[in-house]
Structure 1
């Protein structure tokens, strides 16, 4: 034991701690990136958001030299965060003037240059999906002026086929939200294609050290639990045999234990022989915890507030993972945003299908047969008038 401690001390003194710290931090970032890949491909958005916040704090605190060696996985993580927030037209990442999907399109071009793959089919398909959805997000909310501005910016920065560009500009000018091109290049299809891309990265890349170490630890713990269960079963068999023998000899056991289903001993009942010849049962309860849950929650809240204050004082880094909301300047806009809830693309589709099936004026039937959360018949009537006014739908009543 003494020799092992001496060897550990010699190893720590012979190697620079700064180098060891840099390697460990790289392992941490790679593991966090792998977790984000897994959460995105399995539709675990809550875990993705929590992990992306942790990764943002790590990259803000780490030395830029450590981050520069991990540009490829970090670019993919930034790309995925923008895809998940693609429907947010009032949010931005590194530039307030562009939407999340426009930012994702810029990062996707960088990823394409870094991958150096000969297969351009996946790249071109996701590129076109991003271009269409960056425009369609504003069209779904009736912001056709913003949609044309986005299309102009995309056409100037990225290479789009001339026929594809002309068709998309024609759709925006006609305000045709339900055009077949937009339906084919939908947001859900974009998510599925990006999932395929992420899964290919997870299959090709070499497993990280932390991932391998954690996997081996979990497997060894499983083996230990299985061996412990088998030993407990053997002990229970032998104890039951002993109890049967004692019962046959009319000799009751002096001690017995009651355990829960999980195998954890809750209470132990013991027979205590008194000097007068009588017996009394004594319950031996488990020891109390050193810290209560209230104390732990207080400690965590105080430490979290100090960490938040430290993160606010840190300077901005070139990596942006978190979505920031645009500040609404006028109070009138705030009141309108509280009163009115924008119509979604799926709601408009349900409304159009309901009018085709039941006819104009049967708003109650349409409301009952299709899913409209928080809508009324009057709202459906007003929305139908808006669709006709904007020439999104055509009908002869």
Structure 2
């Protein structure tokens, strides 16, 4: 009798599940799930930035770039997060002067980061932190060029900032003198090191995530892993208590079974240049409609 009723129960359960699915708009479910995924990728990106893991950062950034193209992400908070992703992408590549983010080849990563940072002022609770970060971006844009022996580029960067951004006259005067002297290790620059820039940006990210938690999917996945680990540990204990010996034939058969790879071990080189002469990270370049950032404006789709 139980065997006859069991399929009916299964059919009922399946029918109930189908009814639940039909009662909710799948497009709305997709939107919510996609937003969770973007939040998870955002948190992952911030984590890789903090740990300085460039390869992992680039891998996640390519995913963010892909899923953020969905029309589902048109809310103010998600637009902010996309801008922050673009900002920290430029900062983490700050010392790679050959990496391009804008159509103007003379705009180096930290210069491009300064453009975006000016549009993130409303997300910074601490005004002094905003000003400090802005000054670090300017100083490091110049310092990185000097470190690489590109004095002309350092001079061009300083001139670019004078034309596009407002910054303290004292900072401008000091940097102009340092560039004129070509003094890469001037004591003044020690107040504006790249590590200090990273630390300051990290402070901003910590404060932003505290105010705007994006860890729903992260917590759910963590709980799932912890639960699975607990189950696996108990199963391991049981197997140790009552081991099942394998026959010689079984051992021989298993030793010759090829291990199936679920994913290819070969990772796509996200920093692979389009030519041997110029490195271009296409996945991180701003689309044409986002180039208004260079003029200090937030594109219509990012407002």
TM-score (norm 1): 0.59
1:205 aligns with 2:212: yes
- CA pair 139-283 structure 1, distance change in 2 beyond 3 A: closer
Residues in 1 aligned to 2:95 and 2:54: alpha-carbon distance in whole angstroms: 14
- Greater RCO (CA < 8 Å, at least 6 residues apart): 2
| Number of residues of Structure 1 aligned to a counterpart in Structure 2 | 263
For 2:250 and 2:153, how far apart are their aligned partners in 1?
74
Q: What is the rounded CA distance, in whole Å, between the counterparts of 1:99 and 1:296 in structure 2?
A: 36
- Map 1:125-164; keep pairs closer than 5 Å: 125-164=132-171
Closer, same or farther: CA 11–291 of 1 in aligned 2, 3 Å: farther
Does the Cα contact within 8 Å between 1:129 and 1:185 map onto a contact in 2? yes
Conserved? CA contact 1:83–1:100, under 8 Å: yes
Which residue in 2 is equivalent to 1:383?
A: none
Paired residue for 1:10, among 19, 24, 34? 19
- Whether the 8 Å contact between 2:73 and 2:79 is mirrored in structure 1 is no
1:156-195 aligned at under 5 Å gives the runs 156-195=163-202
Deviation by residue 1:234-275 (Cα, 9 ceiling, x = unmatched): 435xxxxxxxxxxxxxxxxxxx61xxxxxxxxxx21xxxxxx
- Superposed, 1:8-157 pairs within 5 Å as 8-60=17-69, 62-63=70-71, 65-69=72-76, 70-96=78-104, 97-113=106-122, 115=123, 117=125, 119-157=126-164
Query: Does the CA contact (< 8 Å) of 2:95 and 2:144 recur in 1?
Result: yes
- Tell me, yes or no, if the aligned pair for 1:59 and 1:319 is still in contact at 8 Å: no
Q: Residue by residue, what CA displacement relative to the aligned partner does 1:44-99 show, whole Å, maximum 9, x if unpaired?
A: 22211111122222234x22x42555112211111111011111222221332311
User: CA deviation digits over 1:28-47, x for unaligned, max 9?
Assistant: 11111110111111122221
RMSD: 3.2
Distance in 1 of aligned mates of 2:229 and 2:88: 33
Higher CA-based Rg? 1
TM-score by length of 2: 0.75
Q: What SS does the corresponding residue of 1:66 show, helix, strand or coil?
A: coil
Runs of 4+ in 1 over 6 A off after TM superposition: 287-291
How far apart, CA to CA, are the structure 2 residues paired with 1:54 and 1:190? 26
Query: Relative to structure 1, is the Cα distance of residues 226 and 30 closer, same or farther in structure 2, using a 3 angstrom cutoff?
Result: same
Contact 2:40 2:218 in 1 (8 A): yes
C-alpha distance in 2 between matches for 1:283 and 1:16: 51
**Structure 1: segments with no counterpart, 5+ residues:** 237-255, 258-267, 270-280, 302-310, 321-397
Match of 1:224 in 2: 231
Unaligned runs of 5+ in 2: 1-9, 269-281, 292-303
**Structure 2 CA distance for partners of 1:177 and 1:286, relative to 1, 3 Å:** closer
CA, structure 1 residues 283+187, in 2 after alignment: closer, same or farther (shift >3 Å)?
A: closer
Work out whether residues 40 and 48 of structure 1, in 8 Å CA contact, stay in contact via their aligned partners in 2.
yes
Which structure dedicates a bigger proportion of its chain to strand? 1
Q: 1:287 to 1:296 in 2, by over 3 A?
A: farther
